[in-house]
Amino acid sequence: MSEGLDGVIVGDSTTSLVNGVEGKLIYSGYHIEDLAVNALFEEVAFLLWNNRLPNQAELDELVQHIANEAVLPEGVINLMKALPKDAHPMAVLRTAVSALAHFDADSESNYITDKDKSVAHRLAIRLTGQITTATAAWERIRNGQEPLAPRADLNLSQNFVYMLTGTEPDETASKAINVYLVLLAEHGMNASTFTSRVVTGTIADMHSAITAAIAALKGFAHGGANSEAMYQFLEIGEPDNVEHWFNSYIKTHEKRVMGIGHRIYKALDPRASILKEHARALSESSGNTKWFEIAERLEHAALADEYFIERKLYPNVDYYSAIVLYTLNIPVDSFTPLFAMARIAGWTAHVIEQMGGRLIRPEVNYVGAMDLDWLPMDAR
């Protein structure tokens, strides 16, 4: 039996190829390195939904469409305001997306009769914008500020910065957010994506599938790892503490270095090297290079250690993305909702791909007791 379904093929997909041996990531035929340099996040979403890049008119239309559809219903805003202010941002996002279904006329669309999947595409566009708005809105709500509606003249990354800060979106911050979203938009049959496809296979609605995906992403073994990586850097505190921390904590207690090692990649995660350079540039431009120096020193310590070398453990996407987001003043517990802002493109692409497919129902190898005799209550 393959524990955790390692190596088990569960279906075909045209969304992405993850080659962990060679350290390659390809979205619908395009290398992630090219997309990170050139693509707007909305271009990547279009690519994943349609298996081709948009022309200029199509891209302009999609940017406008997402911005227009990103507004949250008043009922969802009021629900978020009623939640405890110390609620975890991912738990709030999970609740908000589930609640959005009640205000969406398309939410109960029948996947069987939607032959051209046009309703599913509308929902994908809407949820892509609304998840971004909800993520920014909660940060303002929990700090006693009124949430801001998205602007029709901004793309998604710019709108997020605007809705978070209430000021004109800074170009550097917007570009950094855009690169982050592009890099995390899709990644094969990861845990949350698989969850979304399982739910879709039951002929459930898209909001249910995405709510379930968010629940899976919340765990620190998956999407929550970026927050855990930053908490780790904060615990180390200073670059000069790295060696002592690594030797006394990681090696002595046999603990993981959060953000180093990946279930699939046995070579450097291509997203990590891209994010490392963005983290370096942002740190230098901000005038505070401490957190980047801690991360880089810890990386060097790990990659020189026999344990990490033997197991081919390298920094993954969470490692340097934590530095990028922290330098942009994103609260640590909000890192994972930004992951969801990106992965909604991949999730919805997989949901659309799964529609009309067979119910996902694997077998399990029973290893429990057999042929027990029934015991009356007084004999137990």
Active site members: 262, 318
Other beta carbons within 10 angstroms of residue 221's beta carbon come to: 11
Q: Which helix (H) or strand (E) holds 19?
A: strand 16-19
* Strand-strand pairing, 16-19 and 30-31: unpaired
**Cα Rg, the chain, nearest whole Å:** 22
List, in order, residues 6 or more apart from 98 with CB less than 8 Å away: 207, 208, 211
Rounded CA-CA distance 380/375 in Å is 6
Rounded CA-CA distance 190/195 in Å is 9
Rounded CA-CA distance 29/231 in Å is 36
* Residue 334 tokens, joined: 């909000």
* Residue 198 tokens, joined: 């399982």
Nearest-CA neighbor of 257 among 303, 207, 193? 303
Nearest-CA neighbor of 297 among 263, 257, 340, 326? 257
* Strand-strand pairing, 16-19 and 24-27: antiparallel
Q: In what order do the strands lie in the sheet with 24-27?
A: 16-19, 24-27, 30-31
Q: How does DSSP classify residue 27?
A: E
Rounded CA-CA distance 54/38 in Å is 13
Rounded CA-CA distance 57/7 in Å is 41
Rounded CA-CA distance 229/89 in Å is 17
Rounded CA-CA distance 63/56 in Å is 11
